[in-house]
């Protein structure tokens, strides 16, 4: 849909007594608020849904009472569930073995408000566009044990540098398929002393995955790192050496 | 304007309407690379601070081409520029709240750098930011100051934590905690990055927004003077810069650029540029005799190779003796340095490196603090200038009282890179809005120099 507004150029000025027709008034109003219309169009168009960033933040510097803080992130969870992009967000409370997920149609049950006192243990936000401002919503989840960020394309090094808030509790972290993560962010993971499982498969910006795995294992001795083999990143060098050897024998002979 | 690699090709379409009075169009272009004859703001110095001011000026102008900005840089190769020779760290662990706010705002800027400096159809900016944090170590003497600084930093919003010697040993087992009373560790927004990428990103975006770039040296100012009597009927003379003389490289030819505002962001050479404007050359014991207290100071940086050194968790370590060290890359390389004492300041005529300084001063302290560095070798070294503020080692941001249109953004004393985005925004607010809007940095103006009230920063590296 393309809306174009053209102001008619005429040598005869329109007399002020005749009012503009409704359609012209509407188009003129829309043209005055061009950027608002653009934003609305972007929000509603299904192709651009991925641009919505989940980033409301609550500042509860002193938790007034336990239920208030859990209410805060209940609201956060509600917002995350109900936003159009969060199809795959799911979470599990401690003491429960079921996961709360939205079904295929995007509907989710409100049962999770019954569990306000239970701290959140596992969060799976894979495939969403969560970024480091959105991490503030999980800031009150002090007992978070598992965090899955598989395929989150807005998770970058700054996001990883903020994960130190979970340093006492986080045991499993899945970072596979995040295109923005590089070594600069992975070196901030040494805060997570309790980390037991780390998944680093398919990180395109990490140049030497094998070397990074070795260095991370030195820094996090109890952590088991999956998704990366020790000799990844070395093959390019070996191929270069082979091709050099071939070309030198070719020119020598 | 098309931006091609590192060269700007300006394709001008000559229409008759462009040859109106007041335009730049010349029928004969004799010397390539001359700056325009007229500019609204001339920024002297094309380092990260100068380009940051240019970018923010263009970002804050409300009409397209509302402000014509010209950045004049002496050296197109940036061979001696402090920006590119910098170690590249950013920290919020200062004692002055203004410094903390500047660094925090700059970290905010760097976090969303592609929103700010992304150019259509060009590669996104990659700063190679290592989020490793700074670790300051204090002895018994400095522990009290460190605690006070910690309170100031937390109040200003920096994410810093204090560690006891036992906690330091547990977190960093390769560190020798002898003599350590307290340590301060930055958890977020601290680390190091590539200064050249930031400079190029700012430059590319500013040029795409229409900033003019000229390679030449500022050799003089033409200014008009007018005097006014003070309350006790002394005559004070105020200058207003009318023209900036920009001399072309390897030539005697110069172009006087008519300008409204001059920004001195010349880094280590800011003192010389201020002298050209006649600052500091007045009669003795008057305000006009106070020079701008910025001078170049040479600092050495050594690249070490140590295969058994600390691993991926190495922070930017700063010992109470002043020696600093950080990891560089993944191959067991480290960067180390030390600020020399006042008496042993090296000669600033050139950028030659003194390797004995490492052997005699740095290596004993470093090997004491990190025992793995006892068997390390110096792979290479370089030297760069600090634009050192001899008055109180903090930046000078603001208008000079005696030169009505000269703004200063200099004297960062080693913190220029990490404070440049926020300092550029502050100066653009001063120029276009008339006052500070986002951060109140009036404590860093010229008043403190004239009143002789230093605003001291206690943790300088």
Indicate which of B114, B127, B131 best probes the interface with A, i.e. most A CBs within 10 Å of its own CB.
B131
What is the pLDDT, as a whole number, of residue B97? Answer: 95
Chain B interface includes A221 (CB < 8 A)? no
A162 closest CA partner among B131, B151, B163: B131
Å from A193 to nearest chain B CA? Answer: 9
What is the pLDDT, as a whole number, of residue A242? Answer: 75
* CB-based contact A208 B188, cutoff 8 Å: no
- Measure CB to CB from residue A187 to each of B132, B187, B189 and give the nearest one: B132
Which one is predicted more confidently, A11 or B115? B115
What is the pLDDT, as a whole number, of residue A76? Answer: 58
What is the pLDDT, as a whole number, of residue A73? Answer: 55
Note which residues in 71-110 of chain B have CB less than 8 A from chain A.
none
- Contact residues on chain A for B131, CB-CB shorter than 8 A: 157-158, 160-161, 184-185, 187-188
For residues B255, B259, B262 and B266, what is the CA-based torsion angle, rounded to 10 degrees? -20
- Contact residues on chain A for B128, CB-CB shorter than 8 A: 182, 184
What is the pLDDT, as a whole number, of residue A132? Answer: 85
Rounded distance between C-alpha atoms, residue B345 and residue B367, angstroms: 23
- Contact residues on chain A for B311, CB-CB shorter than 8 A: 215, 218-219
**Burial bucket for residue B282 (CB in 10 Å: 0-12, 13-18, 19+):** middle
What is the pLDDT, as a whole number, of residue A66? Answer: 38
Q: How many CB pairs under 8 A join A and B?
A: 50
- Contact residues on chain A for B161, CB-CB shorter than 8 A: none
Chain B interface includes A132 (CB < 8 A)? yes
Its ipTM equals 0.88
What is the pLDDT, as a whole number, of residue B108? Answer: 95
pLDDT in tens, B180-218: 999 999 999 999 999 999 999 999 999 999 999 999 999
* CB-based contact A191 B111, cutoff 8 Å: no
Å from A165 to nearest chain B CA? Answer: 9
Asked if residues A169 and A122 have their Cβ atoms less than 8 Å apart, the reply is: no
Indicate which of A188, A216, A223 best probes the interface with B, i.e. most B CBs within 10 Å of its own CB.
A188
Chain B interface includes A198 (CB < 8 A)? no
- Please, how many CA atoms are within 13 Å of residue B19, restricted to the half-sphere of its CB? 6
Å from A140 to nearest chain B CA? Answer: 16
CA A53 to chain centre: 8
pLDDT in tens, A56-111: 333 322 333 333 345 555 655 655 555 433 445 566 665 566 676 666 665 666 66
| Residue-by-residue pLDDT tens, chain A, 253 positions | 444 454 544 444 444 556 778 888 888 888 888 778 777 877 776 654 444 433 333 332 233 333 334 555 565 565 555 543 344 556 666 556 667 666 666 566 666 666 666 677 888 888 888 888 888 877 777 788 899 999 998 999 999 999 999 988 999 999 999 999 999 999 999 999 999 999 999 999 998 899 999 999 999 999 999 999 888 777 666 677 777 777 666 554 4
User: Which residue is closest to A167 within chain B, CA to CA?
Assistant: B187
Å from A208 to nearest chain B CA? Answer: 9
Encoding tokens for residue A116? Answer: 């306000």
User: Which residue is closest to A210 within chain B, CA to CA?
Assistant: B330
pLDDT in tens, B245-298: 999 998 899 999 999 999 999 999 999 999 999 999 988 888 889 999 999 999
Chain A interface includes B313 (CB < 8 A)? yes
What's the whole-number mean pLDDT along residues B378-404? Answer: 95
Which residues, 6+ apart, have CB-to-CB distance to B117 below 8 Å? B55, B125, B201, B202, B204, B205
pLDDT in tens, B314-333: 999 999 999 999 999 999 99
> For chain B, first and last CA: distance in Å?
41
Å from A190 to nearest chain B CA? Answer: 6
User: Which residue is closest to B111 within chain A, CA to CA?
Assistant: A158
Rounded distance between C-alpha atoms, residue A214 and residue A233, angstroms: 12
Strands B333-338 and B323-328: antiparallel
* CB-based contact A183 B330, cutoff 8 Å: yes
Chain B interface includes A163 (CB < 8 A)? no
> For chain A, first and last CA: distance in Å?
67
* CB-based contact A184 B187, cutoff 8 Å: no
């Amino acid at each position: 849909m393309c809306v174009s507004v053209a102001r008619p150029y005429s040598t005869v000025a329109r007399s002020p007594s005749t009012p503009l027709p409704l359609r012209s008034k509407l188009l003129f109003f829309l043209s005055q608020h061009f950027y608002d219309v653009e934003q609305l169009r972007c929000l509603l168009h299904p192709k651009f849904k991925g641009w919505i960033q989940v980033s409301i933040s609550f500042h509860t510097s002193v938790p007034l009472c336990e239920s208030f803080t859990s209410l805060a992130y209940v609201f956060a969870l509600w917002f995350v569930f109900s936003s159009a992009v969060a199809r795959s967000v799911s979470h599990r409370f401690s003491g429960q073995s079921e996961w709360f997920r939205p079904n295929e149609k995007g509907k989710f049950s409100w049962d999770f408000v019954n569990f306000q006192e239970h701290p959140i243990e596992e969060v799976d936000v894979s495939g969403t566009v969560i970024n480091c401002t959105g991490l503030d919503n999980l800031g009150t989840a002090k007992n978070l044990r598992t965090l899955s960020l598989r395929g989150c394309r807005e998770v970058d090094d700054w996001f990883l540098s903020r994960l130190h808030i979970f340093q006492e509790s986080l045991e499993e972290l899945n970072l596979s398929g995040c295109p923005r993560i590089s070594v600069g962010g992975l070196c901030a993971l040494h805060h997570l002393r309790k980390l037991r499982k780390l998944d680093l498969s398919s990180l395109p910006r990490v140049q030497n995955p094998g070397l990074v795995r070795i260095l991370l294992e030195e820094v996090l001795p109890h952590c088991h790192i999956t998704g990366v083999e020790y000799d990844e990143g070395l093959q390019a060098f070996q191929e270069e050496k082979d091709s050099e050897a071939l070309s030198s024998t070719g020119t020598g002979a | 304007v098309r931006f091609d690699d590192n060269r700007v090709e300006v394709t001008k379409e000559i229409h008759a309407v462009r040859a109106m009075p007041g335009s730049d169009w010349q029928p004969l272009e004799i010397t390539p690379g001359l700056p325009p004859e007229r500019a609204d703001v001339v920024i002297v110095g094309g380092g990260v601070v100068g380009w940051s001011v240019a970018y923010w000026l263009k970002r804050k102008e409300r009409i397209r081409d509302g402000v014509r900005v010209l950045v004049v840089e002496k050296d197109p190769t940036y061979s001696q520029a402090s920006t590119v020779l910098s170690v590249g760290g950013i920290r919020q662990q200062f004692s002055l709240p203004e410094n903390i706010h500047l660094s925090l705002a700059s970290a905010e800027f760097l976090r969303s750098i592609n929103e700010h400096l992304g150019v259509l159809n060009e590669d996104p900016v990659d700063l190679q930011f290592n989020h490793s944090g700074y670790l300051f170590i204090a002895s018994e003497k400095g522990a009290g100051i460190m605690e006070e600084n910690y309170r100031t930093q937390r109040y200003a919003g920096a994410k810093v934590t204090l560690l006891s010697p036992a906690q330091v040993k547990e977190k960093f087992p390769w560190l020798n905690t002898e003599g350590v009373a307290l340590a301060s560790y930055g958890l977020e927004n601290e680390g190091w990055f590539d200064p050249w990428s930031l400079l190029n990103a700012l430059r590319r975006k500013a040029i795409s927004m229409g900033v003019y770039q000229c390679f030449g040296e500022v050799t003089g100012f033409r200014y008009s003077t007018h005097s006014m009597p003070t309350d006790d009927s002394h005559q004070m003379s105020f200058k207003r810069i009318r023209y900036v003389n920009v001399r072309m490289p390897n030539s005697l030819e110069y172009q006087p650029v008519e300008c409204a505002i001059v920004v001195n962001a010349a880094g280590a050479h800011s003192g010389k540029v201020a002298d050209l404007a006649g600052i500091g050359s007045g009669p003795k014991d008057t305000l006009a005799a106070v020079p701008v207290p910025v001078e170049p100071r040479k600092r050495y940086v050594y690249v070490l190779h140590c295969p058994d050194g600390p691993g991926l968790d190495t922070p930017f370590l700063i010992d109470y003796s002043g020696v600093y060290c950080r990891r560089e890359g993944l191959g067991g390389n480290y960067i180390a340095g030390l600020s020399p004492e006042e008496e042993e300041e090296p000669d600033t005529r050139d950028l030659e490196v003194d390797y004995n300084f490492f052997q005699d001063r740095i290596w004993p302290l470093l090997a004491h603090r990190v025992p793995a560095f006892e068997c390390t070798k110096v792979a290479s070294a370089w030297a760069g200038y600090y634009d050192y503020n001899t008055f109180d080692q903090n930046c000078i941001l603001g208008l000079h009282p005696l030169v009505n249109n000269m703004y200063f953004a200099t004297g960062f004393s080693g913190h220029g890179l990490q404070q440049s985005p926020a300092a550029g925004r502050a100066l653009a607010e001063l120029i276009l809005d008339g006052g500070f809007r986002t951060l109140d940095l009036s404590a860093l103006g010229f008043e403190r120099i004239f009143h002789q009230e230093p605003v001291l920063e206690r943790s300088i590296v």
